[in-house]
Chains A and B, each alone.
Chain A
Amino acid sequence: MSELQAGLFVLLALGGPAVVLMRDPLRQTLMVGVYGLALALLFFVLQAPDVALSQIVVCTVAVPVMILLALAKVRTHEHESHDDEQEQRASSRGDRGR
């Protein structure tokens, strides 16, 4: 095992727990991308360039984009329901005033 391979294995062993222990979903998404890139580098170092190419595009582009968009959807949804509640409160207050 060369030093490069050993270093990448260590990086992955640290990266996996880092992804899990990061509690903020946004940071977690970015960390998954970094972890995927390290995994792609390892595949490349282990002489599997075909797998490395798939790994790069899927784990650093496709999956993080999907998670980020899902997070954005959840946030707009929360904003909307928040707005709705405020509107309802305002209107009910208005009724009482009348």
Chain B
Amino acid sequence: MSERIRIRLFLAGGAGLAALLAWGLAGLPAFGEFNGACALLINHVVVAQRHATDAVTAVNFDYRALDTLGEEFILFTSVVGLAVLLREQRSERERPPARASEEHRFQGSSYALRALTLMLVGPLVVLALYVDSHGALTPGGGFQGGVLGAAGLLLVFLGGGYLTMRRLSPHALVELAEASGAAGYGLIGFGGLVFAGVFFKNFLGLGTPGELISAGTIPLSSMAVGLEVTGAFVLLWSEFLDQALIVRHR
């Protein structure tokens, strides 16, 4: 294809795209206009119905818990697929750094930086547990807390080196956390089927709104999802780190 034809093709396509965009933008509702009838309804009834003060988490783990199950297993299968894809292949071998001093690959990182990252590990893990367990009360929930927890372990790698992180989170343990988190969430759904007759129906006592243990199964679901997401992200990063730092071609 000659350059002139290509430019003409681009001009025609670009003009079409611009026209469609202008047409679409002209039909948009005004900024801040909101027509979500369901959202308004749920905002109105969520505290009375589910005793949860964060409507978003209540929707995720109760009103549409089945969708969340699907999302869980999307994450689960994609991380498993990644682990299969990045496994050690026949033409590769593991070559851990020979000396401990070689292990820290961030040349030029100061002691202050390493100390600060290590100091942040504890607070970050506590924040993750807080976000996990307070899913029904404040913004946040299993997914957000889960990634925060995984980020805490990543800080161990940044501050202390990869082998330290691997010692803290061996693959078998991470895989177990991911699998049991995913299975736990599914089991909560089956609990609804067994105890209340409907898959994922909230079958536990709802408690007092605003207390830590309230809103029935929502905090449990949140913790299970948090465990799964932490495992998934740590596994994902470990596979990438293995590839980047340890696995070499024969």
Which residues from chain B contact A72 at a C-beta distance below 8 Å?
244-245
Q: Does A53 contact B (CB under 8 A)?
A: yes
Interface residues of B in 228-250 (CB under 8 A from A): 233, 236-237, 240-241, 243-245, 248-249
Which residues from chain A contact B244 at a C-beta distance below 8 Å?
69-70, 72-73, 76
Which residues from chain B contact A50 at a C-beta distance below 8 Å?
54, 56-57, 139-141, 144
Q: Say yes or no: B151 contacts A57, CB within 8 Å.
A: yes
Q: Which residue of A lies closest to B146 (CB)?
A: A57
Q: Say yes or no: B139 contacts A53, CB within 8 Å.
A: yes
Which residues from chain A contact B243 at a C-beta distance below 8 Å?
69, 73
Interface residues of A in 69-90 (CB under 8 A from B): 69-70, 72-73, 76-77, 80
Interface residues of B in 139-176 (CB under 8 A from A): 139-141, 143-144, 147-148, 150-151, 154
Q: Does A58 contact B (CB under 8 A)?
A: yes
Give chain B's interface residue range (CB within 8 Å of chain A): 20 to 34
Which residues from chain B contact A62 at a C-beta distance below 8 Å?
147, 150-151, 233
Which residues from chain A contact B137 at a C-beta distance below 8 Å?
none
Q: Does A11 contact B (CB under 8 A)?
A: no
Which residues from chain A contact B111 at a C-beta distance below 8 Å?
none
Q: Say yes or no: B154 contacts A61, CB within 8 Å.
A: yes
Q: Which residue of A lies closest to B135 (CB)?
A: A50
Q: Does A66 contact B (CB under 8 A)?
A: yes
Interface string of B126-141 (1 = CB under 8 A from A): 0000010000000111
* A15 CA to B237 CA, complexed, in Å: 26
Q: Say yes or no: B148 contacts A57, CB within 8 Å.
A: yes
* A50 CA to B141 CA, complexed, in Å: 8
Q: Does B32 contact A (CB under 8 A)?
A: yes
Residues of chain A having any CB pair with chain B under 8 Å? 1, 49-50, 52-54, 57-58, 61-62, 65-66, 69-70, 72-73, 76-77, 80
Q: What are some 28 contacts across the A-B interface (CB < 8 A)?
A: A1-B31, A49-B139, A49-B140, A50-B54, A50-B57, A50-B139, A52-B139, A53-B131, A53-B144, A54-B143, A57-B147, A58-B147, A61-B147, A61-B151, A62-B150, A62-B233, A65-B154, A65-B237, A66-B236, A69-B241, A69-B244, A70-B240, A70-B244, A72-B244, A72-B245, A73-B240, A76-B248, A80-B248
